Chain A
Amino acid sequence: MRFRAKIVDVACLNHFTRVINTIAKLAKTCTLRLTVDKLYFILTDKVANGGVSMWCELSQGNFFDEFQMEGVAAEHNEIYLELTPENLSRALKTAQNAKTVKIKLTNKHCPCLTVAVELPSLSSSSRIVTHDIPVGVIPRRLWNDFREPTVPDFDVSIYLPVLKTMKSVVERMKNLSNCIVLEANLNGEMNLKIETDLVSVTTHFKGLGNPPWVSEDGSQNSTQDRDPESMAEARIDIRKLLQLLAGQQVNPTKALCNIVSKRIVHFILLHEEVSLQYFIPALA
């Protein structure tokens, strides 16, 4: 098992740092899956995570100038690591004006993801900072736990409003209630609602648009038979939603959500070669 990667370009480094910061905000620990051309950050929907799951996928070519990876075996050319993304985020924080950043899998006192940062210094030679981030190597028999989640058979799919706006709305609602009702229809309308004994607050968004989904057999998704005015709704933990809205630093070019009525909300944020999927289960 070997892994070595190098970032030279400052823009790539900043972009990568933002992705990692986002992951660190969303998950205490996660799984890092490395393949020849992609990196995945995975959080599975264990009860410990409050049923939330995450799937973040990036192409290495977009970030790294060098990327060498040798998996467990030729036919299973992948590496699965258990990682605390906060550590990686902290390591990258010190790399803000780095000349190069190397990330490699090492075996020190335990398996580590070593981030070696070369920083400019006042003298002729540059400074090296190394961060040894302990990781757990996940054995192959457990790999099946980390499959890409399928897009659920949703009732409504809708583009999200500007995330900043949505964040400031949800932030305020959080002070009033622990859970929020997210509802949307096929007419490009979405409502954020809280209902307590004392107060009901709803924020209405309209003209958001519904993304076209084509199912695998080529036909339109089942949502087309749906009454465009009828709302699909899910009541979710408001903190989990805010975690996504406040934690994301990828500034997605496209953001949408799929609602499976009363079951789950599936968020997708897209930015160039990064995709982030986040699943929040509905509360009973």
Chain B
Amino acid sequence: MRCLVTGGNVKVLGKAVHSLSRIGDELYVDPTEDGLSLRAVNSSRSAYACFLFAPLFFQLYEEGSPDPDGEPFRCKVFMKSFLGVFRSLPSLEKMVEKCLISLNPRASRLVVQLHCKYGVTKTHNLSFQECELLQAVFDKELCANTLRAPARVLVDAVVHFPVTLAEVTLGVSPAGKVSFRNYLDEETEPSRTMVTELCLSEDEFQDVQVQQQSHVTFCLKEFRGLLSFAESSNLPLNIHFDSPGRPAIFTLSDPLLEVHLVLATLSDPNSSSQVCSTTLQARPTNGAFPMATPDDDFMGDDIDSYMIAMETTCEEGPGLPSSPTFPQRRPHPGAALESESSAMESDLEGAVPGTPPQKKFRSLFFGSVLTQSQVGTHPGPSQDVLAEDSEGES
């Protein structure tokens, strides 16, 4: 793979890397025929981001020859070392004229060359690790609610929250009221913490489609990272979300660039049918399946809040599209998204229970960020459902 970025696009690339660095410690580099995709997922697997730069984004884009199996060569690098190349955005803008990224599987180095003013060339040789495709399974079309707003509006909205705030709750009502509110977990005493709520009227948004009243809680840090990218690129931000516990999907779209950020949302402990909707694979119809015992109270607020299913495309083939997350209890073999990778199933079943798969992100349990303490102490019946690879036990 070889690609050449010139002019202002170098800074866009740099900003994208900064945004991704808020999410994970590793950067997944995946050259495809649709362009170069850079991805990251956080350690608790509750946040995933993908920046896809179209071939037209580059002055020159060569995808590189696929391996004998027809798979393009992918790798991951340390976020820190890749970020180091693009650390200073102002100097990137001032000094760098073009940036050449090349990935040669035989050289076992990812080479990033910055061609700067005055004939200076900086070459960064980054070691990488071969990897499979990192892909979160989600479908924004299934989300009941969609918001679209200029990044500026949302930047001005979240600026009212302290930088130390971990999560924010986004609420919408069919009447068109949109609100942001700081989330207080159970450990904070409400009588000691200030609650800040911001209401935005519908007409500040370019588009508001709300089918059901809903409020979702997600991490602010990653969201802020995407916002700062969106603001600098002057693109409107789309937010797709559904009921609490199902992922919120943030997208930016441009002919040259497509960005997806998927954040797990906190499930609502008061709502009974949440367990079944906590994977990204969950369908709206899941509410009807008797998948878990909803009468257990603490089930909702322990572990099942954060989960995103991942798939690899390394093995394909038709088969039963059952999820390892919900191994026995999925009566419907109809989920199109999962069908291509079900061959992974056997691999996972063979794995030692409790050992998270190292590379094969077909479906991973996303351990709770917030309530880790409870995860260990209250193994609820919900863990039956999640038992295949419950990282949360650690």
Residue numbers of A with Cβ under 8 A of B are 84, 87, 90-91, 94, 108-110, 121-125, 127-134
Contacts and interface: CB of A to CB of B under 8 A. Distances in A.
Contacts of B198: 127-130
Chain B contact residues, majority secondary structure: mixed
A128 B198 CA distance: 6
Given A123-B201, A127-B199, A129-B198, A134 B192 contact: yes
A129 B194 CA distance: 13
A122 B195 contact: no
A91 B195 CA distance: 10
Interface string B185-212: 0000011111111111101100000000
Nearest to A114: B195
15 contacts: A87-B194, A91-B196, A94-B159, A108-B195, A109-B191, A123-B201, A125-B201, A127-B156, A127-B157, A127-B204, A129-B160, A129-B199, A130-B196, A132-B196, A134-B190
Given A127-B200, A132-B195, A134-B192, 20 more contacts: A84-B192, A84-B194, A87-B194, A94-B160, A109-B191, A110-B191, A121-B153, A121-B201, A121-B204, A122-B204, A125-B201, A127-B156, A128-B199, A129-B160, A129-B196, A129-B197, A129-B199, A132-B196, A132-B197, A134-B194
A110 B190 contact: yes
B153 A122 contact: yes
A143 to B, nearest CB: 21
A132 B193 CA distance: 8
Interface in B341-389: none
A91 B162 CA distance: 10
Given A123-B201, A123-B203, A124-B203, A134 B193 contact: yes
Interface in B105-156: 150, 152-153, 156
Q: How large is the interface on B (under 10, 10 to 19, 20 to 34, 35 or more residues)?
A: 20 to 34
A133 B194 contact: yes
A133 B194 CA distance: 5
A94 B201 CA distance: 18
A122 B150 CA distance: 10
A284 B152 CA distance: 56
A109 B150 CA distance: 34
A131 B203 CA distance: 23
A13 to B, nearest CB: 16
Max count, chain A CB within 10 A of own CB: residue among B152, B194, B197, B198: B194
A125 B153 CA distance: 13
Given A121-B204, A122-B153, A90 B197 contact: no
Contact of B194 (A121, A123, A131): A131
B179 to A, nearest CB: 9
A90 B203 contact: no
A125 B194 contact: no
Given A122-B153, A124-B203, A130 B194 contact: no
Interface of B: 150, 152-153, 156-157, 159-160, 162, 190-201, 203-204
A94 B158 CA distance: 10
A109 B190 contact: yes
Contacts of A108: 195
Give the 6 A-B residue pairs with the shortest CB-CB distance, closest first: A123-B203, A132-B195, A94-B160, A110-B191, A87-B194, A125-B201
Given A127-B199, A128-B199, A90 B204 contact: no
Nearest to B194: A87
B162 to A, nearest CB: 7
A167 to B, nearest CB: 27
Contacts of B152: 122
B199 A132 contact: no
B191 A131 contact: no
A94 B196 CA distance: 10
Nearest to A135: B191
A176 B349 CA distance: 66
Given A94-B159, A94-B160, A109-B190, A130 B197 contact: yes
Contacts of A123: 201, 203-204
B164 to A, nearest CB: 11
B16 to A, nearest CB: 26
A108 to B, nearest CB: 8
B336 to A, nearest CB: 39
Nearest to A94: B160
A128 B181 CA distance: 12
A130 B200 CA distance: 12
Nearest to A108: B195
Nearest to B195: A132
B203 A125 contact: yes
Contacts of B203: 123-125
Nearest to B162: A90
A111 to B, nearest CB: 9
A155 to B, nearest CB: 42
A131 B196 contact: yes
Nearest to A121: B204
A131 B153 CA distance: 19
B220 to A, nearest CB: 15
Contacts of A130: 196-199
Nearest to B198: A129
A133 B193 CA distance: 7
Given A121-B204, A123-B201, A91 B194 contact: yes
Nearest to B201: A125
Contacts of A90: 162, 194
B268 to A, nearest CB: 18
Contacts of B192: 84, 134
A46 to B, nearest CB: 19
A17 to B, nearest CB: 15
Contacts of B159: 94
A132 B190 CA distance: 10
A120 to B, nearest CB: 10
Nearest to B205: A123
A107 to B, nearest CB: 12
Nearest to A129: B198
Nearest to A123: B203
